[in-house]
Amino acid sequence: MLVSYLNEQIEKTLAEKRSDSLRVDISTAKTILENIKNAKTYLDGLTAAEPIVNSVVTEVLERIDEFQNLIPLIIAGFDKGIEDDYKAVRENYKRLHKLQEELMLSVTRLYNARIGDQSELKKLLEENASLRYFIPSADKANHDNLVQAEKFLLGQVKEVELLLQQLDDLKVEYIVKQDEVVAWRNEIDSKILVARTSLTIWARAHKNLGAGIPVPPMIDVAGIAGNLAGNVVKTVVP
Question: What CA–CA distance (Å, rounded) separates 19 from 185?
Answer: 32
What would the mean pLDDT of 14-28 be, rounded to a whole number? 69
Number of folded domains that form the chain: 1
Q: Is residue 75 part of a domain?
A: yes
Q: Is residue 228 part of a domain?
A: no
Q: Is residue 17 part of a domain?
A: yes
pLDDT digits (tens, 9 = 90+) for 38-87: 888 888 888 888 888 888 888 888 888 988 999 999 999 999 999 999 89
Which long-range contacts link 189-194 to residues 24+ away (Cβ below 8 Å)? Answer: 189/71, 191/224, 191/227, 191/228, 192/64, 192/67, 192/68, 192/228, 194/224
Q: 102 near 148, Cβ under 8 Å? A: no
pTM: 0.59
Q: Is residue 194 part of a domain?
A: yes
Q: Is residue 213 part of a domain?
A: yes
Q: What is the mean pLDDT of the chain?
A: 82
Q: Is residue 102 part of a domain?
A: yes
Looking at residue 96, its pLDDT comes to 92
Q: Is residue 200 part of a domain?
A: yes
Q: Is residue 229 part of a domain?
A: no
Domain containing 105 equals 2-218
